[in-house]
Amino acid sequence: MKRFVYILVIISLLFSAGFAEEAENNNELDFTPKGKLEIKDKGNDDGTGVNVFFRPQNKPEEVKYYLLRVYYKSVSEDNLAAQYRIENKDRRYKFNVSLQKRRKHPYPNSRKGVARVYVSNEKGEAVKAFLTESTNTSASWFNINKLSAFMGVLLFLLFVYIFIKQARRGVEFFIRKIPGLEELDNAVGRATELGKPIYYIPGIGTTSRIATLASLNILAPVTRKVAKFATPLKVPNRDPVVMSIAQDVVKEGYMAEGRPDLFNSNDVFFLTRQQFAFAGAVSGLFKREKPGAVFLLGKFYAESLIFAETANDVGAIQIAGTDSVSQIPFFIAACDYTLIGEELFAASGYLSGDPLIVGTMKAQDYLKAILIVLLFIGIILNIFDIDIITKYILQR
């Protein structure tokens, strides 16, 4: 029984509140407020966006200020999503509103938006409501505006898939030899002449970095060359997983040249995981052992110059290569030869024929060809003020 009384009290309170609001809004005005209000679902979103348009049809002398309120679901103070003061300047106003409960937990989002326009005063208070419009919104499964990005990504993935598959099946793709690739041989030869060891650093990245894999691919032919001359080769590592792969690669390289006796698993070693501690340890090794050639291939970060500068100091011939754009300038400044960015992958693909790398390289080349063509057409059309490509393909 008590419960019913409570409910009754609550209902009556709600009603009185509603009436109070109405009463407040029923102020007499000496003109009829007019205007055109539209509320539309924004589309291509999660169903929370609405666009609200309002065109006042009173002269500024009659109504100087309006107030636009946008509610989610229904008109109530709790559901207010946004409000805008509008000074009547006799033009069309547009607002993007996101329908959300302000205070409470936002799930579930509304599927209905209500816009209501009030005549307002200088303080921005609502004086009289005169227009209400509402719309249902819906969440989209697909954002049609991003169609061209979707197609582009799909095309690229298709290329990668097809070429890797073909490369794995044994199709041989042509990849041109990087002009500086002989430098690898020269460096090994130089170190042998001087009778000094060779250091090979496969970067400080993990195996998830494609640059590390590319570096390990280059390590194989370098080892074979080293095995021929019986020059000592050392590979310091920062990542234990990379180290174990590098050990296998070096071992196989010596075996392939028929010199398994030269392989000592302690020559491929782990130093430390700390970035700068690793840099310090390696440069210490350089100082003590004075290598004749240093290979810095793989992923490098801020420590790149520490390696390159120390090796330069001890007079080693240096071959560097990385895909970290911000480190390339340092390598160019301090090393004898630098593989710039993708050249590292191309060299790796050329030397190893690894289907993963060759396939990706090929896919990238096709994509680049398409982009170059697109660029050409776009530029030419753009000179004649035709913006099909930029507007419908690239800006999406």
Partner 1 sequence: MEAISTLFWPTVAVLLTLAIYTFLWEDNPIYKVAEHIFTGVSVGYMIAQSWHNIIMPKLIVPTTNYFSNGRYLLAIYFIIGGLIGLLYLSRFSEKTSWLSRYPIAITVGFYAGFKIVPIWMTNVSKQLNATIQYPNGDSMLNLKMFGKFFDNPTWGNFISAINGPIIVIGVLLVLIYFFFSFSNDNIVVRASRKPALVVLMLGFGGSFGYTFMARISLFIGRMNYIFSDWIEILTTTLGG
Partner 2 sequence: MAEDKNEKKWYDYLLTIKKPLVYLGMFLVVIIPFLSRCKLKTYETDLVKKVFTRVEKIHEYNKEHPDSKRGILLGFDYGPSTTPENDPMLYAVLRHAFLRDIPVVAWAPYVAYLQLAEGRIKRIAKEYKAEYGKDYVFMGLAYPPTPYMISTGTDMRPMFNTDYYGNDVYKLPILDRFNNYDAFGLVVTISGTAMPEVWLRYANSLYNQDVAVATTAVNAAKFYAYAASGQFTGMIAGLKGAAEYEQMVTRLENKVIDEDIKEYLTGLYKNVDKDKYPEKYYEPEYTKSEINTAILRRRQAGRGMSSQFGAHVYVIILIIIGNVGYYFKRRDEKRRKTGKWGA
106 binds, among partner 1, partner 2, none (CB under 5 to 8 A by kind): partner 2
Binder to partner 1 among 37, 97, 175, 335 (CB under 8 A)?
175
What's the helix, strand, coil split of the chain in %, to 5?
A: 50, 20, 30
Binding mask 129-148 for partner 1 (x = CB under 8 A): -----------------x-x
**102 touches partner 2 by CB under 8 A:** yes
Angle between helices 147-169 and 355-383 (to 10 degrees): 140
SS3 179: helix
371 binds, among partner 1, partner 2, none (CB under 5 to 8 A by kind): partner 1
124 binds, among partner 1, partner 2, none (CB under 5 to 8 A by kind): partner 2
Distance, CA of 83 to chain centre:
35
**Backbone torsion region of residue 258, taken as left when φ is above 0, otherwise alpha when ψ lies between -120 and 50, otherwise beta:** left
CB atoms under 10 Å from CB of 107, counted, come to 6
**29 touches partner 1 by CB under 8 A:** no
**85 touches partner 2 by CB under 8 A:** yes
Angle between helices 240-256 and 210-229 (to 10 degrees): 30
Binder to partner 1 among 177, 230, 248, 388 (CB under 8 A)?
177
SS3 72: strand
Residues 38-67 interacting with partner 2 (rule: CB under 8 A)? 46, 48-49, 67
Task: Return the structure tokens found at 259.
Answer: 């010199």
332 binds, among partner 2, partner 1, none (CB under 5 to 8 A by kind): partner 1
List, as one string, the DSSP characters of 191-225.
Answer: HHHHT--EEEE--S--TTSHHHHHHHHHHHHHHHH
Considering beta carbons, is residue 18 or 124 the nearer one to partner 2? 124
**91 touches partner 2 by CB under 8 A:** no
Binder to partner 2 among 58, 98, 207, 390 (CB under 8 A)?
98
Least separation, in Å, of the C-beta of 83 and partner 2?
5
**369 touches partner 1 by CB under 8 A:** yes
Binder to partner 2 among 2, 3, 91, 103 (CB under 8 A)?
103
Of the candidates 359, 37, 6, the one whose C-alpha atom is nearest the C-alpha of residue 169 is 359
- Check if the beta carbon of residue 231 is closer than 8 Å to that of residue 188: yes
**385 touches partner 1 by CB under 8 A:** yes
**138 touches partner 2 by CB under 8 A:** no
**168 touches partner 2 by CB under 8 A:** no
**342 touches partner 1 by CB under 8 A:** yes
Task: Return the structure tokens found at 86.
Answer: 């509008």
**373 touches partner 1 by CB under 8 A:** no
Burial class (CB in 10 A: 0-12, 13-18, 19+), 203: buried
Residues in the chain: 396
Phi, psi of 230 (to 5 degrees): 55, 35
Burial class (CB in 10 A: 0-12, 13-18, 19+), 94: exposed
**82 touches partner 2 by CB under 8 A:** yes
**124 touches partner 2 by CB under 8 A:** yes
390 binds, among partner 1, partner 2, none (CB under 5 to 8 A by kind): partner 1
Distance CA 135, CA 52 (A): 10
Least separation, in Å, of the C-beta of 208 and partner 2?
16
Could you list the residues that contact partner 2 (CB under 8 A)? 46, 48-49, 67, 82-85, 87, 95-98, 100, 102-107, 109, 124, 325-326
Could you list the residues that contact partner 1 (CB under 8 A)? 146, 148-150, 152-153, 156, 173-177, 179, 274, 277, 325-326, 328-330, 332-333, 340-343, 346, 349, 361-362, 365, 368-369, 371-372, 374-375, 378-379, 382-383, 385, 387, 389-390, 393-396
